[in-house]
Structure 1
Amino acid sequence: MSVSRKSLFSGALALTLLATSGYTTMELRRRAERPATAAAPLVAAARASHQAAGAAPKAGDYRYERLAAPDRTVVRDAGGAVLATLTDKARTAVLTGPGRVFAEPGTTSATVTGDSWVRLMPQPWRVGAEGEAWFRTWFQQSLGSTADDVLAIATQYMAGAAPEKDGKGVRYRGDASFGPINPDGSTGQDLRLEQTDFFDYLGIPYSFADKVTKRPDKTRYGAFDCSGFVRMVYGYRSGFPLLSKDVAGAGLARSANGLARFSPGVPVLPLTTLPGSDVTVRPLSIDALQPGDLVFFEIDSRTGARLDHTGIFLGIDTDGHPRYISSREEADGPTFGDKGGTARLDDNGMYAKGLRSAKRL
């Protein structure tokens, strides 16, 4: 199996483009929530105008609309354009911002274009929180911000991504691999070794929320597996608490199976099993997905009902298909391209057929 690297990631700002396709249900729902397709640049411009004038938007400028499945609050401006989607019991918020494009031309001709910016709120959303000081402060600071969000952070580890170090000299972003070559080769059936976490990429010890400290494996420097990638993006970089192993608690568990079954979050695609068995099945619909959701898969038949792969839903690509990003051994690191299997969630490829559930943190 080839281990050639992916091509350089490139990104650029662009207006939102919604491609038409047979996969319309998800798009129809989103358009119902977002009546003004070209609102993002206008929202950013209005925000800049407020800031230039030294005036903060007033709470009365917003309308808070309740929707279900999952229960959530949609924030609209006075003209009805959607500014944010806030899901009950989740910290993840999707804000409307400037349009942008994510591209990976070495592995797919499709790009993901949109105006969704995914950020973590200081605490989970609940009905009525719009009147609380913590939310007003956070929303004021976040609406219109172009600082790195969850989606931007996720793409900062693809092939060719530029490295960057913090003030202590720790490289915290840049081209990542999946893990060391498996010494057992085809005998072990895995091209590369798993069990590589985000602190291996960093090359530093890490003290977890469950009071356990782990030290990196030097042979795994610059690498992380699929769950290690999610933990880097949502945990180390975005601030969600992290646990050292697969246990239930107020942090992200270690593996894909642990993230799906034990970690906090709101199920948006519930895990479903066949009656009288532990066999999990593909969701009948994925309409509830929004950018930033964690998606979970059962790919490896050797693991039984255990979920063995995870990634982050990136959005609708320019061919009209839902696409996700994950760290994959076939691509030797994070990708939303099609090396080793299409990263689309609506076809009959390996990952789409293996999709089992999704969660909103």
Structure 2
Amino acid sequence: MPTMKKRTSVHALTVLALLASSAYLTVELRSEERDSAPGVQTVKDRPVGAGDIDKDSGAQRWERLNNPARTVLRGDQGQILATFTDKARTATLRGPSRTFAEPANTAVRVVTEDWVRLMPQAWRQGAEKEAWFKTWFKEASTTKEDDLFATAFQYAAGAPVKKDAKGLAYAGDANFGPVNPDLTKNRGTPLLEQSDFFHYLGIPYTFRDGTTKQPEPTRAKAIDCSGFVRMVFGYRARYPLASDDNKGDGLPRTANGMARSHLGADILPLSGPAPWYERPKNIDVLQPGDLLFFKMDHHTGARLDHVALYLGPDTEGHKTFISSRKEVNGPTIGDKGGVSRIDGSGFYAQLLRSAKRL
């Protein structure tokens, strides 16, 4: 198995190609919220049934951790090289550093060595010894293909169009939704919700339960918050998709459906009384690639109504996410309508309610 050190020496052109997918948005910074964010916190964890790492052995080592139950691969200095969480297909691997930036929309950047990919099966204790995982990991630890983060930024403002062999444009600058022709019928929101990935693509899509849905021309190149997640995890990374909430065993259509589904591992469980619930008291257990769920609108009753992809710390040390939002008309890590951070006292930080690792 190739070492993780070899993987970190991937040619610089690979990194540059990934950076080319980053986008640039235009808006004034919300400095008052940025200044209110506290310093980054440190996660302290204790191994389950494992002793100290022998830092002089030069060997890698598998280790079990809890809260949540997971397996990590440690390097020769005890550093975590990869994380695999029970019940989840999302794996976080250490790789070449990349920078994701939107300088016209926010002064901060996300510089990360975390690469997030989907495994073919959900993780369980001892899976590192199984043939399916060994085959997958050999490829995943060396591939130059886009991970979930690189894919997500292929839909932000200014992202170049990408087409498949048949000429279908499957990536490029995405809108949130069409302009609302009658604000009074949609609670005054200027852009309509309910734009799924197949609307963006402009093609009919048949789901696993046999349901075929047709795209609406007015929603071409548009994906709302959950449509964005379904595009990145589902259509692009091939995570199974349900035709709607509570239909089939795939990723549900809405943020509420995703948050309350049995899929993956609940990292921050929903708690507190409906309809507003409670903000999680400790968010240190999050890792890059987790889905974040928010309660933002009193018109949606007890439903959670926004979903985002957690990226990890930004260059100022704060916990940052990307999501498709009305304020900037598409996917963003920017500040318009609220800083894209979940620590501190900003808009989204106050309205975070739960998190899941698919």
**TM bracket, shorter-chain basis:** 0.7 to 0.9
Residue of structure 1 equivalent to 2:226: 227
- Between the aligned partners of 1:195 and 1:296, the Cα distance in structure 2 is 17
Residue of structure 1 equivalent to 2:251: 252
Q: Please say if residues 38 and 343 of structure 2, whose CA atoms lie closer than 8 Å, have aligned partners that are also in contact.
A: no
Aligned to 1:348, which of 335, 345, 349? 345
Say which is worse superposed, 259-268 or 217-226, in terms of deviation. Answer: 259-268
Residue of structure 2 equivalent to 1:113: 111
Amino acid aligned to 1:335 = T
CA deviation after TM superposition for structure 1 residue 265, in Å: 1.4
CA deviation after TM superposition for structure 1 residue 214, in Å: 0.5
Amino acid aligned to 1:142 = A
Residue of structure 2 equivalent to 1:315: 312
- Between the aligned partners of 2:248 and 2:271, the Cα distance in structure 1 is 22
- 1:248–1:29 CA distance, 2 compared to 1 (3 A): farther
- Between the aligned partners of 2:303 and 2:241, the Cα distance in structure 1 is 21
Aligned to 2:124, which of 113, 118, 126? 126
Amino acid aligned to 2:23 = F
Residue of structure 2 equivalent to 1:238: 237
CA deviation after TM superposition for structure 1 residue 250, in Å: 2.4
Q: Please say if residues 43 and 284 of structure 2, whose CA atoms lie closer than 8 Å, have aligned partners that are also in contact.
A: no
Q: Please say if residues 97 and 145 of structure 1, whose CA atoms lie closer than 8 Å, have aligned partners that are also in contact.
A: no
- 1:310–1:222 CA distance, 2 compared to 1 (3 A): same
- 1:266–1:145 CA distance, 2 compared to 1 (3 A): same
Aligned to 1:9, which of 10, 23, 28? 23
1:146-203 deviation per Cα after TM superposition (whole angstroms, max 9, x unaligned): 3100011011100000001101111100000001001113663211000110000000
- 1:23–1:111 CA distance, 2 compared to 1 (3 A): same
- Between the aligned partners of 1:173 and 1:215, the Cα distance in structure 2 is 19
Aligned residue-pair number: 314
Q: How does 1:253-268 map to 2 (within 5 A)?
A: 253-268=252-267
- Between the aligned partners of 1:248 and 1:211, the Cα distance in structure 2 is 11
- Between the aligned partners of 1:158 and 1:326, the Cα distance in structure 2 is 9
- Between the aligned partners of 2:132 and 2:240, the Cα distance in structure 1 is 19
- Between the aligned partners of 1:203 and 1:144, the Cα distance in structure 2 is 34
Amino acid aligned to 1:190 = T
Residue of structure 2 equivalent to 1:213: 212
Residue of structure 1 equivalent to 2:51: none
Aligned to 1:180, which of 178, 181, 184? 178
Give me the TM-score of the superposition, normalised by structure 2: 0.84
Aligned to 1:23, which of 24, 36, 39? 39
RMSD: 2.0
CA deviation after TM superposition for structure 1 residue 62, in Å: 3.2
CA deviation after TM superposition for structure 1 residue 235, in Å: 0.2
Q: How does 1:85-124 map to 2 (within 5 A)?
A: 85-124=83-122
- Between the aligned partners of 1:71 and 1:279, the Cα distance in structure 2 is 28
- Between the aligned partners of 2:180 and 2:275, the Cα distance in structure 1 is 30
CA deviation after TM superposition for structure 1 residue 349, in Å: 2.0
Amino acid aligned to 2:39 = Y
SS of the equivalent of 1:240 reads coil
The runs of 5 or more residues in structure 1 that have no matched partner are 1-7, 11-20, 33-59
Amino acid aligned to 1:296 = F
